[in-house]
Amino acid sequence: MAVAATAQVPQLSEMNFMRSEKEDPAMQITAEAMWGENAQSGAQVSIKARLEQSEERKQYIANHPQAEQCRKQMEQRDNALPACRNITARANALDQYSFTVKYEKIPQRLMNATYQIYKLARYAGFPYNSENVVDVNNQANQLKLRVNFAEDHQSANVSIEAPHANAEFKNLPVPHMAKHILIINAQYDIDERMGYAALNGQYNPVCVADGSSAQTFDNKTYPLNLEKDSWYVLMTSAPKQRQNNKFDFKTQRNNNVTILVKQSGDNKKEVKVVLNNGEHVIDMQPTSNNDANAKIQVNKKEQRASKNNVNEVTDNQNQRIAQIYALPSGEVVVNMPQYGLVLNYDGSRVMVDANDRFRDAIRGLCGSFTGEKADDFITPRNCILREARDFVAAYSLSSNNKDNVNARLSNKEFCVPQKKVQFQQVINEKHTGRYVQRKGLNLQGIYSWFGFGSNKEDSNQSGNNDTNENNDRRNSRNENKNENSNENNSNNSGNRNSNENNSNESNNKNQHGSTIHRTKVVEQDNQLCFSAKPLSECNEGFRAENTAEKQMDFVCMTDGQQARQWKEQARKGEHISAIRRKNPNKTMAVEVPTKCIAA
Q: Which residue has the higher pLDDT, 104 or 541?
A: 104
At residue 405 the predicted structure's pLDDT band, cuts being 50, 70 and 90, is: low
Q: What is the pLDDT of residues 341-355, one digit of tens each?
A: 999 999 999 999 998
The count of other CB atoms within 10 Å of the CB of residue 156 is 22
Q: What is the DSSP letter of 525?
A: T
Q: What is the DSSP letter of 230?
A: -
How is 372-418 classified by DSSP, letter by letter? -GGGSSB-TTSPBPS-HHHHHHHTB-SHHHHHHHHHHHTSGGGSPPP
Tell me how far apart the 2 most distant CA atoms of the chain are, in Å.
Answer: 132
Q: What is the DSSP letter of 93?
A: B
Task: Report how far Cα 321 is from the mean position of its chain's Cα atoms.
Answer: 33
What is the Cα Rg of the chain in Å? 41
At residue 170 the predicted structure's pLDDT band, cuts being 50, 70 and 90, is: very high
How is 118-137 classified by DSSP, letter by letter? HHHHHHHTGGGEEEE-SS--
How is 291-345 classified by DSSP, letter by letter? S-SEEEEETTEEE---SSS-EEEE-TTS-EEEEEEE-TTS-EEEEETTTTEEEEE
Q: pTM here? A: 0.64
Q: What is the pLDDT of residues 68-126, one digit of tens each?
A: 999 999 999 999 999 999 999 999 999 999 999 999 988 889 889 998 999 999 899 99
Compute the distance between CA of residue 139 and CA of residue 345 in angstroms, rounded to an integer. 51
Compute the distance between CA of residue 160 and CA of residue 167 in angstroms, rounded to an integer. 5
Q: What is the pLDDT of residues 39-48, one digit of tens each?
A: 667 889 999 9
Compute the distance between CA of residue 352 and CA of residue 347 in angstroms, rounded to an integer. 14
pLDDT at residue 143 greater than cutoff 60: yes
Q: What is the 3-state secondary structure (H, E, C) of 156-214?
A: EEEEEEECCEEEEEEEEECCHHHHHHHCCECCECHHHHHHHHHCCCCCCCEEEECCCEE
Burial of 122 (0-12, 13-18, 19+ CB in 10 A): middle
